[in-house]
């Protein structure tokens, strides 16, 4: 990769077709108010088609490619924090229902070329792995105008100018010499995600984001490690496992996000049988379940929306992410019921400006994460993310954006 400033923008993605080609930006800078509500759907046919970027998961060729100073887009594992020091803290890092620390889902490197303050810009999604909390979240999202609503899905935006305290102003060389300018804040030795602001009272070495994670780490082997650390005259790094090794079994599998444009997939290449082999199928979820959903929507307003969703997704069944920040971009809804209107999308919490649709995650992500098909397993139709249209640069390192959860009809009736 060429070492000039323009090439830095290409670090967002990797090409599915030609590894040596320079990847393009995943979006265009916002120029007008973003819509995305259900009441805008009638105008779809009249509007110009926007170019949607699709995200696909690939096993990383090397774990070193997903480090924070290389500005990765990735799913699973632990986050590569853009600002490694001023991490989200307090209740913002916890589920609003069960109060447990949230689990990392994915991050998207999405700089805005014409916004100097967003030369580096990454969006981070976190989620509570409990389906019971996600069900409550779907209802709570309608209450945002009544005050700070509880959420089990949270998205944070972090951005910074080219000249900053954490990274070189020159693009990475990708020759093994790239290094961040400073160390990050110590993180939890159990989850590897949140700031470790609690310290083990015995060894004074291990750090945790919560009492629960401290307990889990103690039971999983730190009890023995702790005694060795106390008795050792020198605390060896070989005694205390490095952050990233312990939480690996507790986090979702790590993948790199590679992209291609939806227009590259010919809809005519998918025959009828392929169209019925849908993206939301996961191991253990048979075709007759899909058919039962279709029967349930017969002669219903959801039928048209569901069929459109299925046809669109069947062009690239492995997609886990849809991204488009153009001013007239809209989400791809699975159902017409439960969609927000424009009035349901809140203003930015920081600048009070409008928010616009930026990306959505698809149910196929659950397959890659190995989520089991059980009654209480995590499941969704889609989760849509709205971000500040102006990508405001307030004095907060990680600004919380707005996520809208849409579940399947069967999920909403669970006890």
Mean pLDDT (the chain, rounded): 80
In tens, the pLDDT along 345-400 reads 999 999 999 999 999 999 999 999 999 888 889 999 999 999 999 999 988 999 99
Whether 76 has a pLDDT exceeding 70, the answer reads yes
Lowest mean pLDDT among 161-170, 182-191, 232-241, 295-304: 232-241
Whether 61 has a pLDDT exceeding 70, the answer reads yes
pLDDT at position 27: 43
Whether 298 has a pLDDT exceeding 90, the answer reads no
pLDDT at position 31: 36
Q: Is the C-alpha dihedral spanning 47, 312, 254, 88 positive or negative?
A: positive
Residue 1 CB partners (closer than 8 Å, separation 6+): 7, 10, 22, 171, 172, 174
pLDDT at position 295: 59
Percent of the chain with pLDDT over 90: 52
Question: What's the average model confidence in pLDDT over 313-335?
Answer: 95
Contact yes or no for 21/182 (Cβ under 8 A): no
Which is higher by pLDDT, 163 or 286? 163
Percent of the chain with pLDDT over 70: 72
pLDDT at position 246: 47
Neighbours of 186 (CB within 10 A): 14
Whether 299 has a pLDDT exceeding 90, the answer reads no
pLDDT at position 176: 81
Question: What's the average model confidence in pLDDT over 264-272?
Answer: 62
In tens, the pLDDT along 174-219 reads 888 888 999 999 999 889 999 998 988 888 888 999 888 988 888 8
CA distance 268 to 286: 25
Question: What's the average model confidence in pLDDT over 77-89?
Answer: 95
pLDDT at position 147: 59
């Amino acid at each position: 990769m060429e070492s000039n400033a323009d090439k830095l923008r290409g670090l967002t993605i990797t090409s599915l077709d030609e590894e040596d080609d320079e990847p393009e930006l995943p979006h265009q800078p916002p120029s007008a108010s973003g819509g995305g509500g259900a009441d805008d759907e009638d105008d779809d046919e009249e509007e110009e088609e926007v170019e949607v970027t699709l995200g696909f998961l690939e096993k990383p060729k090397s774990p070193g490619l997903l480090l924070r100073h290389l500005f990765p887009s990735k799913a699973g594992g632990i986050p590569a924090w853009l600002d490694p020091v001023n991490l989200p803290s307090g209740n913002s890092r916890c589920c609003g229902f069960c109060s447990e620390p949230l689990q990392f889902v994915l991050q998207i490197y999405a700089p805005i070329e014409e916004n100097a303050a967003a030369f580096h810009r990454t969006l981070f999604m976190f989620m509570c792995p409990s389906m019971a909390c996600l069900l409550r979240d779907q209802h709570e999202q309608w209450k945002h105008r009544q005050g700070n609503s509880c959420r089990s899905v949270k998205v944070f935006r972090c951005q910074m100018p080219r000249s900053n305290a954490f990274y070189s102003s020159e693009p990475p060389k990708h020759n093994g010499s790239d290094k961040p300018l400073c160390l990050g804040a110590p993180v939890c030795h159990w989850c590897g995600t949140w700031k470790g602001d609690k310290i083990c009272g015995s060894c004074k070495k291990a750090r945790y984001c919560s009492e629960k994670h401290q307990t889990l780490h103690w039971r999983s082997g730190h009890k023995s490690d702790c005694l060795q650390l106390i008795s050792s005259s020198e605390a060896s790094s070989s005694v205390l496992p490095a952050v990233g090794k312990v939480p690996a079994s507790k986090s979702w599998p790590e993948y790199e996000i590679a992209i291609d444009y939806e227009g590259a997939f010919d809809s005519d290449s998918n025959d009828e049988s392929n169209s019925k082999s849908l993206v939301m199928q996961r191991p253990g979820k048979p075709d007759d379940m899909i058919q039962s959903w279709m029967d349930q929507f017969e002669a219903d307003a959801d039928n048209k929306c569901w069929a459109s969703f299925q046809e669109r997704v069947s062009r690239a069944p492995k997609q886990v992410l849809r991204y488009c920040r153009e001013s007239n971009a809209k989400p791809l809804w699975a159902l017409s019921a439960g969609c927000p209107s424009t009035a349901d999308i809140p203003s930015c919490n920081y600048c009070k400006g409008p928010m616009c649709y930026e990306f959505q995650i698809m149910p196929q992500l659950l397959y890659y994460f190995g989520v089991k098909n059980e009654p209480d397993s995590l499941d969704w139709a889609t989760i849509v993310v709205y971000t500040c249209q102006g990508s405001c640069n307030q004095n907060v390192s990680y600004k919380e954006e707005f996520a809208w959860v849409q579940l399947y009809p069967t999920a909403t009736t669970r006890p």
